[in-house]
Amino acid sequence: MRFDMLVLILGMGLITSLTRVPFFLMFSRRELSPRTERLLRHVPVALLAAIVAPVFTMPGGLLLPPMEDPYLLGAAVTLLAARFTRNVIVLVSAGVLCVAVVRARWLPDARRQQPTHPDTTGLLDEGGTRSFSIMRL
């Protein structure tokens, strides 16, 4: 393994720890004010919704028209399946199957090929070219 790869991996690990450890130590130290407690109680729902919502309207980082966005239909099918079961494996399979069918049967050829990893980072430009300028962060 090259030395600079080692530095990179260690650096990424260190910076990731820096996002996890400080608040974990700070917010467990003493009693929090009722207001903070109330706020923290609602973070899980707010955060998970915030992480996933843009993935549905912008799969691959591109804003698609609703009728050409297989993710929206996949989400609808997953929610529908949730009325019958809470089994995660079943729900995920239903969504995945739906997206596969929609892509194969419905969408024009150009829309079938999408990035393998939904890019929610905003690092991909409109044309799918990557721009890594720090300014975009």
Partner 1 sequence: MLAGASQFVALPMLVSGASAFVIIATVFFVNIRHYLMAASLAPYFRATPRWARAVIAQSVSDLSYALAVARWREQAPSVAYFIGCATSINIAWIVTSALGAFFGGAVEHPERYGLDFAFPAVFIALLLPLVADRRNLAVALLSGVLAIAVAAIIPGQWYVIVAGIGGAILGALMEHRR
Asked if 45 touches partner 1 (CB under 8 A), the answer is yes
CA-nearest of 77, 64, 79 to 112 is 64
Torsion of CA 131, 96, 69, 81, to 10 degrees: -140
- Least distance in Å: CB of 4 to partner 1? 6
- Subset of residues 59 to 98 that bind partner 1, contact rule: CB under 8 A: 59, 63, 70-71, 74-75, 78-79, 82, 86, 88, 91-92, 94-98
Q: Token pair for residue 134? A: 């720090």
44-51, long-range: CB < 8 A, 24+ apart: 51/120
Q: Where are the alpha helices (DSSP H) in the chain?
A: 3-26, 34-41, 43-57, 70-81, 88-105, 109-112
Q: Rounded to the nearest whole angstrom, what is the least distance from the CB of residue 118 to partner 1 in the complex?
A: 6
**Tokens read off for 38:** 């109330």
Nearer to partner 1, 30 or 67 (CB): 30
Among 3, 48, 69, 110, binds partner 1 (CB under 8 A): 48
Minimum separation from the CB atom of position 68 to partner 1 (A): 14
Site for partner 1 in 104-133 (CB under 8 A): 104, 112-123, 130, 132
Cβ distance to partner 1 smaller for residue 42 or 65: 42
